[in-house]
Amino acid sequence: MNHVPVLLRKILVVATALAALVVPEDCAAGAPDPVRPNLLLILADDLGFGDVGCQGATDLRTPHLDQLAAEGMRFANFYANCTVCSPTRAALMTGRYPDLVGVPGVIRTHADDSWGWLAPGAVLLPQVLKPAGYHSALVGKWHLGLESPNLPNARGFDHFHGFLGDMMDDYNTHLRHGRNYLRLDSEVVEAQGHATDVFTDWAIEYLRDRSDQSEPFFLYLAYNAPHTPIQPRPDWLARVQAREPELDPGRARLVALIEHLDDGIGRVLAALEENGQAGRTLVLFTSDNGGQLSVGANNGRWRGGKQDLYEGGLRVPMIARWPGRIAPGSESPVMALTMDLFATCAEAAGTAVPGEIEGVSLIPILLGGGSGLPSRDFVWMRREGNPRYQGRDYFALRRGDWKLVQNTPFEPWQLFNLVEDPGEERDRAAAEAGVRWDLTRILMRHIQRAGTVPWQPPAPGGTGDQE
């Protein structure tokens, strides 16, 4: 018996030594997983802040997104980088403010109505993940260029199965302006069925192809739902109308489109489980901007919607799940932006980010090791044509509790205290002229930086060099 304590001490010493060999230093609490996780980034198109069950919706059902939130973390104060598609996608892919990479507005088919050109020198997320051994795929909507050099495979993706354009004129024909923008890498392809089903099927095919591969994957799954046209599958619409017979017909169509989207996301998550990939996959879900009010979107308690720089146009759902790393059922009040997901994915993968990005990693928040992020200003802008904007810019800036807003290029600045007035109902610009001017000066510095970045393709014979 006298030898037992000595024996126990020897066992403890050996166990400690083995643990040091087996558990790397970076596996401490709050550090990314030493086994590089797969990355699944799901982006909805025009999904409003309040159009998810776990965000308070009462007239729609999103069981799969609700379950994702129950198994992970939901962000209560997450912002899109812009109030429309292309700029937010540019921010997501580069970790930068969109106008600093040449995408201040929507990229479109016709040159006279296209307001961005992705900077050739911008480093995209798949390029950052490549040195860490990731195979990167984009399934779904690209919307950052219709021709070389701004095509997905030329900008770092190993696999592209999706749609190049800004929107589809019909969810079943998949055409835009009579053109087929569906591609498998560089090959023009056709597809049968509703676009939500097509993208879901293509994502599941990719996951199955990667199920027996040793290298981790990054799958960027970008649905075009629930963007207009609000064209749900008839069986989903019938289901909603039977359950909610008093629902406004327009709202019922949008609800059906969203519920079908949720079902597709559920099928993708189920494929992860079936393939044995779910346990080592960080899943991120968000939307590119707020919902479109004219088609019945619900942006929660926030003012405005898509195209507006009020909170309803910018606040979006954001959910993260990482089994064994993110506490189930958690919620974060931290304010963050779409561009932060770039640095988040890079840190999770254990790879370095480019020298200059504005986004910051959310890993400390996700893993519970941090209570906040560095104090910073949030800037939003958009450049747009059509009679409402006439090719000019409009802006918003948030610093702390204060938000400066110009919601069209032709109106005076408005100033709101979002803590006292979250609905942006009481303009304080006249009463707080000093605050207004301080925020205006910050915004002017950003405009000066962005002014050095070209946002149109170079003229024939030009180099097109950009930062």
Choose, from 64, 143, 194, 260, the residue flagged as catalytic: 143
Contact status, residue 284 vs residue 320, Cβ threshold 8 Å? yes
Going 271 to 273 to 276 to 281, the CA torsion angle's sign is positive
Confidence of residue 1 (pLDDT cuts 50, 70, 90): very low
How do residues 96-107 score in pLDDT, each as one tens digit? Answer: 999 999 999 999
418 and 353 belong to one structural domain: no
- DSSP-derived 3-state class of residue 188: strand
Contact status, residue 92 vs residue 338, Cβ threshold 8 Å? yes
The domain boundary, picked from 335, 366, 397, lies at 366
Written as one letter, the residue type at 247 is L
365 pLDDT higher than 80: yes
Mean pLDDT score, 7-20 = 33
Rg (CA), the chain: 23
Choose, from 85, 174, 227, 260, the residue flagged as catalytic: 85
Task: Give the up-direction half-sphere exposure of residue 131: CA atoms within 13 A in the CB hemisphere.
Answer: 10
> The domain that contains 318 carries what CATH number?
3.40.720.10
306 and 180 belong to one structural domain: yes
282 and 388 belong to one structural domain: no
Contact status, residue 206 vs residue 26, Cβ threshold 8 Å? no
Q: Tokens for 140? A: 């779904």
Instruction: Read off the pTM.
Output: 0.92
How do residues 166-225 score in pLDDT, each as one tens digit? Answer: 999 999 999 999 999 999 999 999 999 999 999 999 999 999 999 999 999 999 999 999
pLDDT at position 355, please? 82
Task: Decide if 7 is inside a domain.
Answer: no
73 pLDDT higher than 60: yes
Task: Decide if 2 is inside a domain.
Answer: no
Any catalytic annotation for residue 143? yes
Using CB atoms within 10 A of its CB, is residue 201 exposed (0-12), middle (13-18) or buried (19+)?
A: middle
pLDDT at position 33, please? 54
pLDDT at position 272, please? 98
288 and 389 belong to one structural domain: no
Any catalytic annotation for residue 227? no
pLDDT at position 28, please? 36
pLDDT at position 204, please? 98
pLDDT at position 372, please? 79
Domain, as residue range, for 261: 38-366
How do residues 367-407 score in pLDDT, each as one tens digit? Answer: 996 667 889 999 999 999 999 999 999 999 999 999 999 99
Pairing of strands 159-163, 187-188: unpaired
Q: Tokens for 182? A: 């569906």
Indicate the average pLDDT of the chain.
92
Higher-confidence residue of 11 and 239: namely 239
pLDDT at position 3, please? 38
How do residues 430-464 score in pLDDT, each as one tens digit? Answer: 999 999 999 999 999 999 999 999 999 988 765 54
Task: Decide if 353 is inside a domain.
Answer: yes
Q: Tokens for 408? A: 């069209």
> The domain that contains 441 carries what CATH number?
3.30.1120.10
pLDDT at position 459, please? 81
330 and 399 belong to one structural domain: no
385 and 359 belong to one structural domain: no
pLDDT at position 7, please? 36
pLDDT at position 35, please? 78
Q: How many domains does the chain have?
A: 2
The domain boundary, picked from 298, 332, 366, lies at 366
Confidence of residue 143 (pLDDT cuts 50, 70, 90): very high
403 and 361 belong to one structural domain: no
Cα 443 to Cα 362, 375, 395, 424, 449, distances in angstroms: 25, 16, 8, 20, 10
Task: Decide if 430 is inside a domain.
Answer: yes
Cα 339 to Cα 68, 139, 187, 240, 366, distances in angstroms: 21, 19, 30, 35, 16
Higher-confidence residue of 374 and 246: namely 246
Task: Decide if 456 is inside a domain.
Answer: no
**162 Cβ contact partners less than 8 Å away, ≥ 6 residues apart:** 138, 139, 140, 141, 142, 152, 182, 183, 199, 202, 222
Confidence of residue 32 (pLDDT cuts 50, 70, 90): low
The domain boundary, picked from 366, 392, 423, lies at 366
Q: DSSP strand E in 117-276: where? A: 135-141, 159-163, 175-176, 179-180, 182-184, 187-188, 217-222
DSSP symbols for 45-97: SS--TTSSGGGT-SS---HHHHHHHHTSEEEEEEE-SSSSHHHHHHHHHHSS-
> Which run of H or of E encompasses 394?
strand 392-399
233 and 132 belong to one structural domain: yes
98 and 246 belong to one structural domain: yes
Higher-confidence residue of 14 and 194: namely 194
Task: Decide if 350 is inside a domain.
Answer: yes
